[in-house]
Structure 1
Amino acid sequence: MSVLEDFITQFSALRYQNPLAQSIIATRTLLSQHFGLNSEDRVMFDKLLSQLDSPLKVAVIGQFSSGKSTFLNALLGEEILPSGIIPLTSKVCEIGYGENLHLEIFYKDGTHTYAPLEFLEQVEPAINTQISHYKLFAPVPLLQEIIFLDTPGFNSQNQEDTDISNAILQEVDGIIWVSLIDNVGKNSEREILFNHIRHYRAKSLCVLNQKDRLKNTTELEVSLNYAKEAFSGIFEAIIPISAKNALKAQRESSSDGARLYEDSGILEVVEFIHTHLMPQKTQNKAHKTLRSLRILILKYYRRLHIPHIYLRRLEGLLESYGVLDPAQVQELNAQSQQLFALLESRVLALTQQLFSSLERTKMSFNKSHKNALGLKTTQQYEKEMYILPLDSVLNTLQRQDSPFISEWHKLFLAIKQFGTGFMCEIPDFAQILHVWEDQALGTHSRGTPLFLPYVLALPSHLQEWFVQYPRIALSFESALREIKISLQGRTNALAQLLEKTLRNTIKLVCLELDSKIRQGLQAYQKDSERFPLYEPSMENIRDMLQNAIGLEYYQERFFLHNNIAKALVREIESILKSVSEEHLQTLRELKERNEQILQTLREHIKRLKIPQY
């Protein structure tokens, strides 16, 4: 017994150490700083930490009657397990450390109970079918480092046993296949090993039991070489042992007992476990732990990286929104110039209307002159002249139901409606945002049950933004509404001013025209030689109308550099840019924060890839 204890103590002092706990804690701290860890991930971190110092798990497996229980007793240093556990129960028995020897039974319904060790030999088949697995606890020092799993094996007729054994092989840190040394390499055994064990060569050991049945070292060498050839490529090592002699040596305290124990081969098995399986377990644990941490970080990295991508896209949408289509701007400017052209045509039509309203009439005039005798005589003559039937013309031109006035009202309406179509062609940012949301959130869009969990899984600096981002569309909607109100006020004012000016213009020009005709007549009557009759031309009337209506003012508003179209474009671009910049500033701050977190995660992943374990 002292030989085994000294051997275990010696290897315990050399046990491989690693800083995995620091990596686990650092990863958990990093993610917790920026994300709300869900319960599943918190459990995972706790599990990774709890498994760091977990004992080595070794599955002991073999065909029926291969001496597995005897071998385990030899390893444990005393006869704890009754022989034939597996044939009797066909259940996994986990053997671990406990202050007292006891058996715990776990049932398939989730309950468990305790029973004496004899239960393993006495359990009835009907009860056995209700049992999931066993745990046996023994006060053996070796079990503080190693948990052994006694398994059903692969030659059972029950497929469930095979499935359980395969699942165990994937999970354990080491596999010990127990075979009888004088019956090694049977076809049935090789078939099992080829189908189930060869995939785990790096952690597999073959133990050839009952070497004490061989006559001499020659037979031992022959059997060992045959096993190595038969099991080529399946095991990392093959060790012949005598479990019976190992147990026998435990009962003896003499030097013969120590030699018998050393010759049994059990120490070589323990050495393989400590020198091969334990360092390998530590390395595998480091690899699996680091891989789990990297996968977890990548999950959270992706959780942030995807919205980060779509925030960049939204940034582009905001930068381009308010940059108006040049073709549409050109069309708007053309519409403004068309309004002025229409105004000019209305003035021309009014000019023609007034000119055509002038009437030609003959009037008699007296002209005095001296005859040949020097006597003053008066001669009467007739001359045609223009007169303006003022009342009739005013009545005609100012009547609201006249076709002439109707045409002017069309102009007033066109001025009032100016820019309406252009404003309608500005894309609705709510629709732009809706399309962006469908791409960015997919099935997690607002209004779906998945939206809130999605948002809560984001870093805190993004959560509030994702809840409130629809306000972006509302701010643009409000800005455009104000622009429309402002535009409507200006165009209505222009139309009303023109309408009022038109009424005054007609009256003033008619009065002026009538006055000039009368003044011309009076002057002609006084001195026909010096003052001709006033003969108004269309150019005269047009100039009067243009001056009276203030055509230059409307030319400035509709045609020249600072026309209403260009003013509207400048206003739209300025206001929308101002609104965009407000949201862009917020987005850029979010992006900068995101990039900092993503960079931190990338650097942490690189550190986890460093082969420091």
Structure 2
Amino acid sequence: MSILNGFVKEFNEKFVKKEEEFEEGLAGDIKRIRAKLLDEKFLPSIQLRNILDKQIRRARYPMEVAITGQFSSGKSTFLNALLSKNILPTGITPVTSKVNFINYGEEYKLKITYYSGAQEYAPIEAIADFTDQRKHDMRDIKYLTLYAPMDILKDISFVDTPGLNSQSQSDTDTTRRVLRDVGGIIWLTLIDNAGKLSEAQVLEEYMQHFKNKSLCVLNQKDKFTQDQIETTTKYIKDKFGKFFAKVVPISAKMALESRSAHSDILIHDEYEKFIKKFKEDLRINDVNTLNFFEKDFEDYKNKIKKIKEIDSSGNTKLLEESNIQDVLDFIDNTIRPQAAESKEYAIKKDLKGICNILVKEYETIIAVYDSLIEILKNAEDDVLEAFENIHKTYSKELFSVYNSLESIMEKMAHETYKSIKKQKASRYEEKSGFLHKDSYERIEYETYWIDSDNVYKNLFYDDQTIDKMFKRAIKELKQVELDSNEAYRNVYREIKHRIHRWQEPYEQLKKHREIASDMEFSSTRHFAAKVYENVLRSFHRAILENISALRKKFAYFNGALSYSYIQTTQATIAHFEQQIAESVTLYEKEPTKFTIYHPREDEILTKLKANFGFEKIEDFLTSKRNYLFKIIQYSKKQYLDINKDRIEFVESKKLEYIKKIEDIKIIKNDI
């Protein structure tokens, strides 16, 4: 029993497919869709796998908040305040010439990504070398990513943009694209510049669609009185309320000073320094003991103690006056919920878009098979007409051959008839009367005989007239055979030509979008490349079979014509000589009742045809259901059967993709 249980367990583990379980939330939903779209039946591409993995990373990626505004509005200082550290360079001209992504990392570092796709890392202190648009060697850089071990970056990724009225139009275009995609926007402007015409124009052009996720931050409040701040804030709310959900006056300078000196920040900085030194010392020291660590640990504890003993009330007050907390609250209470909802909507929209792309690509493949089906269907009438034309054309040719053969029969009959000659004969008849008893009278009469030597001489020996006429008829018949065979080949050539025109573009068929299945398109190209094996070969074999049937019929007919016409003539002459002899016998017995038989020309012709088997020849060549008619009818039926079969075969290939489209639409509806 235990052996059986073990077998069942092993079987289930190996062959029974377990339903995969997914985590709760957006990432789990994406994984569920990913598993369905990467099912083996779709032969998924690496690109599809990558883009779905990217969506999972996107779901887990922190909310993005863009910092933008007109140049020299203090964006870098403001970001440094949010990060509680002087990381980004500041200046009096548009310094930031590239998009900077500020993300969480285990250590401070800078990643430079170039338009070529190359990447390099640099110390964070070197960031100014890669962001100052006053330098001329920055054009190859696409964007920068700054990593910092700060808790705020675990949930929020800041995007520092070049601004919307930068000296470079490409920088403005880059900023515009960023604003469209991020979860929230902080528009930073100086209080004394807020509301100017130039800014109003920029807001009208770029910011009118982002109100629900946008915060207007009026920087440098520390330079103005409270009344001035309140007046400007109310003015901006009234004038630009349609662009922003909220307007907040702040002092980035005060916020940076207070936050960078805050005990929590100082403790965190000391912790980062301590951990970094500990890791480095651990790498170069004996790991069997931590003696090297004791002094550093004591120093670290003393520093933390001193930081905690510092009176931070001034910093706290400075932080409150900076009003930076209003910005953080807006991010947490307004941007974050909307960003999460917006991200989920955007990701699911993109997933549906992926499904739509896959459906479109499958429809591209279906169109390949549809066009072939259309060609096969449209060819039917033309092919059937071509077969009918073969019958019409070569029936006339066969009738001409028949006329030639009939002329031969008529000539043979006429020559035989001309060679019927008279000859004298006598019979004895008993005389009447008593005196003439037992006495006979010799009576002469005319009878007929056929000069066969003359017939053979005139027809066969002297100029071989009949032989030449037969050879001419056989040659005509052979030409009909060759021409009809070629006509059959032309039917196949027409089918092949149409399908080859279809084949040419699809042998090079390529997917339009990278995420489409390489294997599906490769399979379709292979189908097009192998169209002879897949479609044409059946038609080709049928045409060759039809030609073979024609040849067999012609071979049979040639055999019939090869029957010795001399023997036929001899048999005919012998027949009529017998008829004449029999008539003479009857005539001599009862002359008053019987006459001497003289063959008529039409009788000779009829007998010649009978001896030659001309009835079969006539049926073969001229009847409405002659051999050509029968082969053509068979060809038509065979063609229609094959065409139907090949259409059904192509339809079956097409249905595979229709089913896949249905499956993808079901997946899309589940998103």
CA distance in 2, matches of 1:497, 1:349: 19
SS at match of 1:234: coil
CA distance in 2, matches of 1:529, 1:123: 141
Name the structure 2 match of 1:271. 329
- The question of 1:402 aligning with 2:402 is answered no
Amino acid at match of 1:496: G
**CA drift at 1:500:** 0.9
Contact 1:461 1:590 in 2 (8 A): no
CA distance in 2, matches of 1:449, 1:56: 37
Name the structure 1 match of 2:652. 589
How has the CA–CA distance of structure 1 residues 582 and 350 changed in structure 2, closer, same or farther, with 3 Å as cutoff?
Answer: same
**CA drift at 1:207:** 0.8
Aligned residue among 491, 497, 504 for 1:428: 491
- The question of 1:22 aligning with 2:80 is answered no
Name the structure 2 match of 1:33. 41
- The question of 1:294 aligning with 2:355 is answered yes
Name the structure 2 match of 1:5. none
How has the CA–CA distance of structure 1 residues 221 and 433 changed in structure 2, closer, same or farther, with 3 Å as cutoff?
Answer: farther
CA distance in 2, matches of 1:536, 1:292: 96
SS at match of 2:247: strand
Cα RMSD after superposing both structures: 4.2
Name the structure 1 match of 2:128. 120
How has the CA–CA distance of structure 1 residues 401 and 524 changed in structure 2, closer, same or farther, with 3 Å as cutoff?
Answer: same
SS at match of 1:182: coil
Contact 2:26 2:344 in 1 (8 A): no
**CA drift at 1:128:** 6.7
- The question of 1:148 aligning with 2:148 is answered no
Cα deviations across residues 498-541 of structure 1 (Å, max 9, x unaligned)? Answer: 33153322011112222333444455456644553222223432
Aligned residue among 463, 474, 478 for 1:412: 474
CA distance in 2, matches of 1:388, 1:499: 25
**CA drift at 1:449:** 11
* Worse-matched range after superposition: 460-469 or 354-363: 460-469
Name the structure 2 match of 1:7. none
**CA drift at 1:196:** 3.8
**CA drift at 1:222:** 2.5
How has the CA–CA distance of structure 1 residues 552 and 130 changed in structure 2, closer, same or farther, with 3 Å as cutoff?
Answer: closer
Contact 2:27 2:60 in 1 (8 A): no
CA distance in 2, matches of 1:548, 1:121: 113
Name the structure 2 match of 1:489. 552
How has the CA–CA distance of structure 1 residues 503 and 200 changed in structure 2, closer, same or farther, with 3 Å as cutoff?
Answer: farther
CA distance in 1, matches of 2:582, 2:606: 19
Name the structure 2 match of 1:43. 50
SS at match of 2:107: coil
Contact 1:176 1:207 in 2 (8 A): yes
CA distance in 2, matches of 1:65, 1:23: 47
Cα deviations across residues 568-612 of structure 1 (Å, max 9, x unaligned)? Answer: 22442455456556645543432332332232233334444xxxx
**CA drift at 1:460:** 7.6
TM-score, length-normalised on structure 1? 0.80
CA distance in 2, matches of 1:443, 1:90: 46
Name the structure 2 match of 1:602. 665
- The question of 1:305 aligning with 2:366 is answered yes
Name the structure 2 match of 1:356. 418
Name the structure 2 match of 1:238. 247
How has the CA–CA distance of structure 1 residues 359 and 305 changed in structure 2, closer, same or farther, with 3 Å as cutoff?
Answer: same
Aligned residue among 210, 217, 220 for 1:207: 217
Paired-residue identity, %: 25
How has the CA–CA distance of structure 1 residues 460 and 589 changed in structure 2, closer, same or farther, with 3 Å as cutoff?
Answer: farther
Contact 1:74 1:243 in 2 (8 A): yes
CA distance in 2, matches of 1:121, 1:520: 134
How has the CA–CA distance of structure 1 residues 531 and 168 changed in structure 2, closer, same or farther, with 3 Å as cutoff?
Answer: closer
SS at match of 1:149: strand
Cα deviations across residues 536-583 of structure 1 (Å, max 9, x unaligned)? Answer: 223432343243223443344445575313332244245545655664
* Worse-matched range after superposition: 419-428 or 353-362: 419-428
- The question of 1:186 aligning with 2:182 is answered no
Instruction: Map residues 53-92 of structure 1 onto 2, 5 A cutoff.
Output: 53-81=60-88, 83-84=90-91, 87-88=94-95, 90-92=97-99
> Where in structure 2 are there 5+ consecutive unaligned residues?
1-23, 263-310
SS at match of 1:153: coil
**CA drift at 1:494:** 2.0
Contact 1:241 1:266 in 2 (8 A): yes
> Where in structure 1 are there 5+ consecutive unaligned residues?
1-14, 609-613
Aligned residue among 200, 213, 234 for 1:225: 234
CA distance in 2, matches of 1:549, 1:119: 110
Name the structure 1 match of 2:107. 100
Name the structure 2 match of 1:458. 520
**CA drift at 1:372:** 8.3
Contact 2:384 2:636 in 1 (8 A): yes
How has the CA–CA distance of structure 1 residues 107 and 510 changed in structure 2, closer, same or farther, with 3 Å as cutoff?
Answer: closer
CA distance in 2, matches of 1:564, 1:122: 89
Contact 2:100 2:145 in 1 (8 A): yes
Name the structure 2 match of 1:388. 450
